[in-house]
């Protein structure tokens, strides 16, 4: 079970992170999101994107405050440990992109009438940007990952199995997104505008994706004993999640709960299968000792 100090650190981190993050979301990020319309200027859109990006730094703020208050700077998971850990870093850099592409392919196999190459041919350079997305997103994704996989995951892992830790951390991570999901991020369902059931379903969908993603992110970070593989993987997801949208006949024809993005149930099939494989592998490893 958890040590008393670990319990206090986990509780303090969660309270600080959720209170500060949600306060910023409701005061700044969500109002900015609600100002964005198809007719909005680039300045308005840029402000909304910037404020959403700033939200990602609050888990790291939560870690810093927790460590300052508890005077504990041990095992920060900041050393990269490159030697002997090529696999976790390669998986982090390219793995989510491969899974996203496979998920999009599965989606279009189910819905071939929605497929087109017209949009992709107009923006082929988007693929090149996706390949360097882990580096482009390094700073802001570190803002989240040092909280979730660099602090919360190893702290909760002290008293739990890998599988239960992944599920709990994934659920917490998903619920942390709830306010911005409820106001249209990822699924386009807005509280007070769309049926409340659709908005709740969007939050549930985000929690499911965060759980299956945590199996991958937690696994590669634990393998390297470092937060950085998860940072790369998070950057890859953020940069590549929309690549399937480049092949949609129209941005309005697909249901985001289904795909082609990995936050949809069909688009997310490869992530789910990988999570199940990691779950089985880690259960066997822990059983064998």
pLDDT of residue 224: 98
Residue whose tokens read 């992709």: 120
Q: How far are the Cα atoms of 120, 134, 242 from residue 259, in angstroms, in the given order? A: 17, 22, 10
CA–CA distance, 37 with 215 (Å, rounded to integer): 36
pLDDT of residue 1: 55
The predicted model scores a pTM of: 0.95
88 CB contacts (<8 Å, ≥6 apart)?
220, 221, 223, 224, 229
CA–CA distance, 140 with 238 (Å, rounded to integer): 10
Q: What mean pLDDT comes out for the span 258-283?
A: 97
pLDDT at 289 over 80: no
pLDDT of residue 39: 81
- Beta-bridged to residue 236, according to DSSP, are none
Per cent of the chain over pLDDT 70 is 98
Instruction: List, for residues 21-44, the tens digit of each pLDDT value.
Output: 999 999 999 999 988 887 888 899
Instruction: List, for residues 271-282, the tens digit of each pLDDT value.
Output: 999 999 999 999
74 CB contacts (<8 Å, ≥6 apart)?
none
Structure letter (DSSP) for residue 247: G
Instruction: List, for residues 198-245, the tens digit of each pLDDT value.
Output: 999 999 999 999 999 999 999 999 999 999 999 999 999 999 998 999
Q: How confident is the model at residue 129 (pLDDT cuts 50, 70, 90)?
A: confident
CA–CA distance, 25 with 162 (Å, rounded to integer): 31
Residue whose tokens read 């999901």: 181
Asked whether 178 and 200 are in contact (CB, 8 A), the reply is: no
Whether cis (ω within 30° of 0) applies to the bond prior to 288 is: no
pLDDT of residue 238: 95
Q: CA nearest 19: which of 30, 27, 7? A: 27
Helix or strand holding residue 85 (H, E):
none
Instruction: List, for residues 54-66, the tens digit of each pLDDT value.
Output: 999 999 999 999 9
CA–CA distance, 62 with 152 (Å, rounded to integer): 10
In this structure, of 46-50, 87-91, 186-190, 246-250, the range with the lowest mean pLDDT score is 246-250
Q: How confident is the model at residue 2 (pLDDT cuts 50, 70, 90)?
A: low
């Amino acid at each position: 079970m958890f040590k008393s100090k670990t319990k206090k650190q986990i509780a303090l981190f969660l309270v600080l992170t959720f209170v500060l993050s949600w306060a910023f979301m409701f005061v700044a990020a969500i109002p900015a999101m609600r100002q964005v319309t198809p007719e909005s200027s680039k300045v308005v859109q840029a402000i909304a994107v910037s404020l959403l990006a700033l939200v990602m730094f609050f888990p790291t703020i939560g870690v810093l405050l927790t460590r300052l208050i508890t005077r504990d700077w041990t095992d920060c998971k900041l050393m990269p440990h490159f030697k002997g850990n090529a696999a976790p870093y390669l998986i982090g850099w390219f793995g989510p992109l491969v899974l996203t592409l496979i998920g999009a392919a599965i989606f279009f196999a189910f819905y071939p009438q929605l497929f087109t190459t017209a949009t992709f041919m107009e923006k082929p350079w988007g693929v090149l940007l996706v390949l360097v997305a882990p580096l482009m997103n390094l700073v802001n994704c570190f803002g989240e990952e040092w909280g979730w996989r660099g602090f919360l995951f190893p702290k909760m892992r002290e008293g739990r199995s890998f599988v239960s830790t992944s599920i709990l951390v994934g659920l917490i991570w998903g619920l942390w997104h709830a306010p911005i999901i409820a106001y249209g991020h990822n699924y386009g369902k807005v509280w007070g505008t769309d049926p409340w059931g659709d908005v709740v379903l969007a939050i549930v969908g985000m929690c499911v994706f965060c759980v299956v993603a945590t199996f991958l992110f937690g696994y590669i970070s634990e393998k390297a004993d470092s937060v950085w593989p998860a940072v790369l993987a998070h950057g890859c997801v953020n940069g590549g999640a929309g690549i399937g949208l480049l092949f949609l006949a129209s941005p309005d024809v697909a249901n985001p709960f289904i795909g082609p993005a990995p936050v949809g149930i069909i688009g997310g099939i490869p992530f789910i299968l990988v999570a199940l494989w990691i779950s089985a592998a880690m259960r066997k490893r822990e059983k064998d000792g």
